[in-house]
Amino acid sequence: MSPLRRPSKYTQAFRRDAVDLVRSSGRPINEVARELGMSHETLRNWVRKHEHQTSGSVPVAAGGGLSVADKDAEIARLRRQVAELQVEKEILRKAAAYFAKEMDR
């Protein structure tokens, strides 16, 4: 830790629980932060950091939702992922059928 930074008053467990609460409740960050008695900016930073570290998905916006552009980008990403998974599933299905035939010989 840099000598200019003061130690955090929040434990790692509290941070993790606060981020989990935001993600699971579907409520706006502002509301959750108010309920926890903390700054919404701090909580928003934790959520963004968590999103960046875990899945690289689009971070949660201040109001708890995504902008239209972010939603469109997320939908496009998910559609590409679904198409890729369908191709992989088909390859695995064909491989399973091939090996099943080989076992019968």
CA–CA gap between residue 82 and residue 72 (Å, rounded) = 15
The rounded distance, in Å, linking the Cα atoms of 58 and 73 is 9
Angle at CA of residue 7, ends 44 and 11, nearest 5°: 60
Digit-coded pLDDT (tens) for 2-27? 567 777 788 888 988 999 888 888 88
10-65 has which CATH code?
1.10.10
- What pLDDT does residue 63 have? 46
* Burial (CB count <10 Å: 0-12, 13-18, 19+), residue 28: middle
Domain ranges of the chain: 10-65, 66-105
Asked if residues 30 and 40 have their Cβ atoms less than 8 Å apart, the reply is yes
- pLDDT tens digits for range 46-101: 999 988 887 655 555 544 566 788 888 889 999 999 999 999 999 999 999 999 99
Query: What is the reported pTM?
Result: 0.47
